[in-house]
């Protein structure tokens, strides 16, 4: 794993943007694997700015997102599909039909997981962007998830519900379950870029880089990926 330590959040976002721009420029029909959460917002803002300033085209790009809350759809401003449209897609020339996020409102969630999984098999990510949870989760693969897991329905860990409560009016409003790509789907990406900033990620980052490869810390599976770059600020790197 290549580790890049940057001074702060802005420098982390800039370093990630440079890598993503290289992929998009070299391969205009690339498949981008995308994450939600606070961490990639600086990256997405830079992609939007660059598109406006330099005209970098996303017309032929396809995207696949990591996860979605069960029960939420585009009309809900807490859904991940809403998040992606507002923070990235509507700022690019990316056709919405080229974007893919599991449907949290599907009547048959198992069938939706199977559909999304089959789609991922046809859309290998040229680059997969990841954040990391304070408990070491990636996407919503919580501690204990088998490394061989594919897209599945997951009950969120109490720590994840607490971490994500800041984005909801009340902790009770955080959905208790989600649809998520599995670790196998993430490992299938040609290249992985994982981002982390802030002291509250330092312990998970230490486990990711220096710990044993264990299902207790799902992100540690990335030690086995042939092309993984970790970009972190000094606070997230403080225990390394």
Catalytic residue set: 67, 135, 137, 142
- Cite the DSSP H helix spans in 88-236: 109-122, 158-164, 183-187, 202-210
Return the range that interacts with ligand F6R (CB under 6 A); candidates 101-109, 126-134, 185-193, 213-221: 126-134
Q: Which helix (H) or strand (E) holds 32?
A: strand 31-34
Q: Which of 15, 16, 20, 37 binds ligand F6R (CB under 6 A)?
A: 37
Residues 6+ apart with CB under 8 A from 113: 102, 150, 151, 152, 153, 179
Please, which residue, 138 or 189, has the CB nearer to ligand F6R? 138
List the interface residues with ligand F6R, window 143-202 (CB under 6 A).
none
Q: Which is nearer to ligand F6R, 64 or 66 (CB)?
A: 66
In whole angstroms, the minimum distance from the beta carbon of 226 to ligand F6R comes to: 22
Asked if residue 138 binds ligand F6R (CB under 6 A), the reply is yes
38 binds ligand F6R (CB under 6 A): yes
Least separation, in Å, of the C-beta of 66 and ligand F6R?
4
State how far the Cα of 121 lies from the Cα of 237, in Å rounded to an integer: 34
The answer to whether 156 touches 177, Cβ cutoff 8 Å, is yes
- Find the shortest distance in angstroms from Cβ 134 to ligand F6R: 8
> In the range 59-118, which residues lie near ligand F6R by CB under 6 A?
66-67
Residues in contact with ligand F6R, counted by CB under 6 A, come to a total of 14
Strands 177-180 and 67-69, sheet pairing: antiparallel
The residue ranges that bind ligand F6R (CB under 6 A) are 35-39, 66-67, 131-133, 137-140
């Amino acid at each position: 794993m290549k580790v890049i330590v940057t001074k702060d959040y802005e420098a982390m976002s800039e370093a990630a943007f440079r890598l993503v721009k290289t992929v998009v420029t070299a391969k205009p029909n690339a498949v981008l694997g995308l994450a939600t959460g606070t961490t990639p917002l600086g990256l997405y803002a830079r992609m939007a700015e660059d598109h406006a300033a330099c005209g970098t085209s996303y017309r032929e790009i396809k995207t696949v997102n990591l996860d979605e809350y069960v029960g939420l759809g585009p009309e809900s401003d807490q859904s991940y599909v809403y998040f992606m449209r507002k923070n990235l897609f509507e700022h690019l020339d990316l056709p919405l039909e080229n974007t893919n996020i599991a449907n949290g409102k599907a009547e048959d969630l198992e069938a939706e997981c199977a559909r999304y999984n089959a789609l991922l098999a046809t859309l290998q990510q040229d680059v997969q962007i990841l954040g990391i949870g304070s408990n070491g989760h990636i996407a919503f693969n919580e501690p204990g998830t088998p490394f061989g897991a594919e897209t599945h329905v997951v009950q969120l860990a109490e720590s994840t519900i607490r971490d994500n409560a800041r984005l909801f009016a009340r902790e009770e409003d955080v959905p208790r379950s989600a649809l998520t790509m599995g670790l196998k789907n993430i490992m299938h990406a040609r290249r992985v870029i994982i981002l982390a900033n802030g002291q509250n990620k330092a312990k998970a980052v230490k486990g990711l880089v220096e710990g044993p490869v264990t299902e207790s810390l799902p992100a540690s599976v990335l030690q086995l990926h042939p092309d993984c770059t970790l970009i972190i600020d000094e606070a997230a790197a403080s225990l390394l």
